[in-house]
A = this chain, B = another copy of it.
């Protein structure tokens, strides 16, 4: 197992914690040298905060722990390609390297829709490494959304059955 894979497995453990509490399963780990500075997962629903993505949480935590906003010397591991907000935060924080698992073809800010992290117009570029534990990262997302679709379907069927039952009661009266 490479060191990229080792840290991505920790990010995946975070992603699975998110799934367990009904959050979209994306996890992130921030490493400085060989040391893990912060690990987090998406908390949007739990905190009711649209900025509470895994990457923002680890960046804010790392700034607090290291006492500096320039996170040079740091590598950020995240299971899914960062969105535009998180890609911008990576640039703003001067992170050296971003390693992600699977792409986000609908909203990726690193490569899929925008090239924020490597854009030469901005005042910092980070190195981007993609496809680390890609299938596993994508599978965690697929499982989550499949389960959610099944739950929604079951909820609708229950509601429909309840309505039919009420209608039958009314017809009987």
* Residue positions of A touching B, CB distance < 8 A: 44-45, 47-53, 56, 59-60, 63-64, 67-71, 83-89, 91-94, 106-107, 109, 113-114, 116, 119, 121-123
Contacts and interface: CB of A to CB of B under 8 A. Distances in A.
B109 A88 contact: yes
Contacts of A68: 48
Nearest to A121: B113
Nearest to A114: B114
Nearest to A90: B85
27 contacts: A45-B69, A47-B69, A48-B63, A48-B68, A49-B63, A50-B63, A50-B69, A50-B89, A51-B59, A51-B60, A51-B63, A51-B89, A51-B92, A52-B69, A53-B92, A84-B85, A84-B87, A84-B88, A84-B109, A84-B114, A85-B86, A85-B89, A86-B88, A87-B88, A88-B109, A106-B121, A114-B116
A161 to B, nearest CB: 30
A93 B49 CA distance: 8
A130 to B, nearest CB: 19
> Could you say which of A44, A50, A59, A64 has the most chain B C-beta atoms within 10 Å of its C-beta?
A50
A66 B107 CA distance: 26
Contacts of A69: 44-45, 47-50, 52
Contacts of A48: 63, 67-69
